[in-house]
Amino acid sequence: MIETGLTNKTVIVTGAAAGIGKATARRFAAEGCRVASWDVKDGEAEASGIFQKVDVANAASVEAAVEEVMRHWGAIHVLVNNAGILRDGQLVKIRDGAIAGIMSDEQFDSVIAVNLKGVFTCTRAVVPRMIASGGGAILNASSVVGLYGNFGQTNYVATKAGVIGMTRVWARELGKYNIRVNAVAPGFIATDMVKAMPEKILEALRGRTPLGRMGQPEDIANAYLWLASDAASFVTGAVISVDGGVVTGT
């Protein structure tokens, strides 16, 4: 059995009310961590943890939540930047030779605010406390589409590719403080939201995955746990694809 070294460590998980975020909060809690679950929606605290209603795109909201975590436990060892939203649409949609739609400023800006700036805002707030705690791990949610692109997701892909860039910059900047920074790029994951899609679409997603199935939220949670653990102590600046073998063009 691998010794993770995570017992009694303080972990923040954003977007923890449901899906991958909730599975991640549960996984760290099961490892004996003190987990602060953040979400803009209502949610529940894990065992020996707290739930905080936090807007990751709002610096004041994030700073207040970080201060509350510090009051509870006095240290922050792991940050999982998982929160994200979708506002899909084509850049320009043409029908019968005429413009039938475009991606709006609101669609673009709202996704950038949560998925990209939210990662920046949370990390900026946590890093000084993490340095004071002697180091730690920052884990960022990218996506396979951040590596390969995807039709109808200009905004989302831009954020997930940007997260990879920030991950690599921070790995360089923060290594001297014993802070490791890595990203996980999930493939098609069977969250409740995804499972509500029509069966025809789900079958197509499974068909694009060489392992022949969709991933579970726990698959991503396990990757985050490993990256945060002592078992990955020499891993930083990496992007780990957890996607069942999905590759561009499949």
- Structure pTM? 0.94
Asked if residue 45 is part of any domain, the answer here is: yes
CATH number at residue 37: 3.40.50.720
- What pLDDT is recorded for position 18? 95
141 in Cβ contact with 81 (< 8 Å)? yes
State yes or no: pLDDT of 110 exceeds 60: yes
Asked if residue 95 is part of any domain, the answer here is: yes
Asked if residue 55 is part of any domain, the answer here is: yes
pLDDT digits (tens, 9 = 90+) for 184-237: 999 999 988 778 878 988 898 898 899 999 999 999 999 999 999 999 999 999
Here the tokens at position 242 are: 């957890």
Q: How many domains does one find in the chain?
A: 1
What is the residue range of 168's domain?
10-238
The average pLDDT across 15-39 equals: 97
State yes or no: pLDDT of 34 exceeds 90: yes
pLDDT digits (tens, 9 = 90+) for 135-150: 999 999 999 999 998 8
Asked if residue 246 is part of any domain, the answer here is: no
**Is 224 among the catalytic positions?**
no
191 φ/ψ sector (left φ>0, alpha ψ -120 to 50, else beta): beta
Catalytic residue among 148, 156, 177, 224: 156
pLDDT digits (tens, 9 = 90+) for 73-87: 999 999 999 999 989
